[in-house]
Amino acid sequence: MRFMVIVKATEDSEKGVMPSQDMLAAMGAYNEELVKAGIMLDGDGLRPSSHGARIRFDDTGETTVIDGPFAETKELVSGYWVFEVSSREEAIEWARKAPFRGGELEIRPFSVPEDFGEAFTPELQERENQLRDTLGAQREA
């Protein structure tokens, strides 16, 4: 089972305050533990929402772009991991080992194509696949 572990933003992360040397070391050790346990597929940190933007869609598909920063700190994301584990409990126990002092993690299972039902037709899947191919190529480049 694949889970995304979402790191919620904090006031410090939103201000762009760099973690302490101790925290960086603890996080490095934690990441190493995840890798050595064979369960971490991916993971990274994000810059504060002041560097980001939101793209809002109305009912007709018209878009409005809103530049960051955004106010509701606790709803924002500051990083993520992708775990491959055998159960929800295992994802939780791994997340519990993260060296945070304050803050919050949220775990969410990846949806599988079946979750989309009829709306996710083979043609759409093909489109998505092409998109991911492009992303993959960019990553490799």
Partner 1 sequence: MTTPPPPTASATADLHRVVDAVWRMESARIVGALARVTGDVGLAEELAQDALVAALEQWPDTGVPAKPGAWLMATAKHRAIDTFRRAQNLQRKTQELGRSLVQDESAEEDWAAALDEVVEDDVLRLVFISCHPVLSREARVALTLRLVGGLSTDEIARAFLVPEKTLAQRVVRAKRTLTAARVPFEMPTGTDFTARLSSVLEVLYLIFNEGYAATAGEDLTRPALCQEAMRLGRILAGLVRGESEVHGLVALLQLQASRLAARIGPGGESVLLADQDRGRWDRVLITRGLAALEEAERTARDALGPYALQAAIAACHARARSVEETDWARIAGAYEALAALSPSPVIELNRAVAVSRAYGPAAGLELADALLGVPALSSYHLLPAVRGDLLHSLGRDAEARTEFERAAGLTRNERERALLLGRAADCGGSAGLPTP
Does 90 sit near partner 1 (CB under 8 A)? yes
Those residues whose C-beta lies under 8 Å from the C-beta of residue 112, and which sit 6 or more positions away, are none
- Min dist. Cβ of residue 77 to partner 1 (A): 19
SS3 52: coil
Q: Which of 5, 7, 39, 95 lies at the binding interface for partner 1 (CB under 8 A)? A: 39
Find out whether 65 and 54 touch, Cβ atoms under 8 Å. yes
104 makes contact with partner 1 (CB under 8 A) = no
From the list 60, 86, 117, 119, which residue makes contact with partner 1 (rule: CB under 8 A)? 86
CA nearest to 79, candidates 141, 131, 19: 19
In the complex, the smallest distance separating the C-beta of residue 127 from partner 1, rounded to whole angstroms, is 8
Please give the C-alpha separations between residue 37 and each of 26, 42, 43, 93, in angstroms, as whole numbers.
16, 13, 15, 13
Task: Give the footprint of partner 1 on this chain (CB under 8 A).
Answer: 2, 35-39, 41-42, 82, 84-87, 89-90, 92-94, 97, 113, 122, 125-126, 128-129, 132-133, 135-136, 139-140
